[in-house]
Amino acid sequence: MEQNDAQKTPISFKGYRIKKLEYGLDIKVPKSDIEIQYGISKDKKLGQVTITVNFNDESKKSHGILVVTGQFDLADNLTDKQLHIFLGQNGAAILYPYVRSILSMITALDDNRVEILPTLNFVNLAKNNKIKREQ
């Protein structure tokens, strides 16, 4: 279905890919954390958001690293500030449920104690510069 100009959104989610998945007893992960980055093509028509999750579950003695990248089409003439909001903040919020689901599914295959990522406030993360633009 074709969108008219009034319906066009600043970003359009095209899908995601799992870039890296390591899980097991012998994976070395320094600490549990979540890192979010976004990048933009030179012509500013395409964007991507990468979410990296390092996780440790000491009760199961299992550890892992998950890296998921989402691809987005970008509207024309977005400013750097708009890109930070639409791609960094909103794009990360669009991608994050997929990351949560992947992690829960993988850890559920190993044990009945499923790893569940916390919900995140992407507005606060963006305001506090926790979402970084790739250089």
DSSP string, 93-104: HHHHHHHHHHHH
Domains of the chain, CATH where assigned: 11-133 (3.10.420.10)
In which residue are the tokens 């992960």 written? Answer: 29
Mean pLDDT over 22-33 rounds to 83
Mean pLDDT over 7-30 rounds to 89
Dihedral, 41, 46, 51, 52 alpha carbons, nearest 10: -40
Q: Is pLDDT larger for residue 58 or for residue 93? A: 93
CA 65 to chain centre: 13
Radius of gyration over every alpha carbon of the chain, rounded to an integer in angstroms = 16
Q: What is the pLDDT of residues 84-129, one digit of tens each?
A: 999 999 999 999 999 999 999 998 888 777 888 889 999 999 998 8
Mean pLDDT over 27-54 rounds to 92
Q: pLDDT at position 27, please? A: 77
Q: pLDDT at position 91, please? A: 97
Task: Judge contact between 106 and 21, C-beta under 8 A.
Answer: yes
Whether 29 shows a pLDDT value over 70: the answer reads: yes
Amino acid letter, 71: Q
Whether 34 shows a pLDDT value over 70: the answer reads: yes
Predicted TM-score (pTM) above 0.85? yes
Whole-number Å distance between alpha carbons of 75 and 9: 7
Q: pLDDT at position 3, please? A: 55
